[in-house]
């Protein structure tokens, strides 16, 4: 059993969302991995209102119980796979809001991206990369972009093309390596010495 914990964060709460099938696929592929323990985290289970904390998240002084629960959940992970749709050339509002709620809990961890959309969700990933950089999340190069035209039947039944299976394995490899390295970055200097 690995001591690395990686969350697969499902970044859509929209009714009829395609993201659930995508996130379940990623989680299923992760089951055979031994380098980390993967857990699916569905934003539907963390109903965060539009950011309602008066103090900036960089201060880490959360007032609301929903924020404290979200912070505890995110703090428990070493890395993340963000499963994101592309809405209007960006990620979903609910995922952006969930990212904005916290700061320190994201810092010095690693992330990878799986996206879906008419152009594979590539523009959503580009926005997430910028957001993750500001949150001090190291993001790996490998990404998986799924097309609504070729990886979904009738734009709704998920049927990923075979090459994506290999791409996800590369993403796992990179993410586990970077998550392990970032864990050392988070270790206090006294422990590391």
CATH of the domain at 74: 3.40.50.360
Instruction: Give percent of the chain with pLDDT exceeding 70.
Output: 97
Tell me which residue of 79, 83, 77 sits closest to 44, measured CA to CA: 83
Residue-number span of the structural domain to which 163 is assigned:
5-192
Instruction: Work out how many domains the chain is built from and give that number.
Output: 1
Q: Are 172 and 144 in contact (CB under 8 A)?
A: no
Residues 112-154 have pLDDT tens digits of: 999 999 999 999 999 999 999 999 999 999 999 999 999 999 9
Residues 162-172 have pLDDT tens digits of: 999 999 999 99
pTM higher than 0.85: yes
Between 186 and 8, the more confident residue is 8
Question: What's the chain's average pLDDT?
Answer: 95
């Amino acid at each position: 059993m690995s001591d690395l914990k990686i969350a697969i964060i499902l970044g859509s709460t929209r009714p009829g969302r395609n993201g659930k099938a995508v996130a379940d696929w990623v989680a299923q592929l992760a089951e055979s991995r031994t380098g980390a323990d993967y857990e699916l985290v569905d934003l539907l289970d963390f109903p965060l209102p539009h950011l309602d904390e008066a103090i900036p998240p960089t201060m880490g002084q959360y007032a609301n119980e929903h924020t404290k629960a979200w912070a505890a959940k995110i703090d428990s992970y070493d890395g993340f796979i963000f499963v994101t749709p592309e809405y209007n050339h960006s990620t979903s509002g609910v995922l952006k809001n969930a990212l904005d709620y916290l700061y320190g809990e994201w810092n010095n961890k690693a992330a990878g991206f799986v996206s879906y959309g008419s152009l594979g969700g590539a523009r959503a990933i580009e926005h997430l990369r910028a957001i993750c950089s500001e949150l001090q999340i190291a993001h790996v190069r490998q990404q998986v972009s799924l097309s609504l035209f070729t990886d979904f039947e009738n734009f709704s039944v998920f049927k990923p093309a075979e090459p994506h299976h290999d791409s996800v394995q590369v993403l796992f490899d990179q993410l586990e390596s970077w998550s392990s390295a970032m864990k050392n970055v988070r270790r206090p200097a006294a422990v590391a010495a």
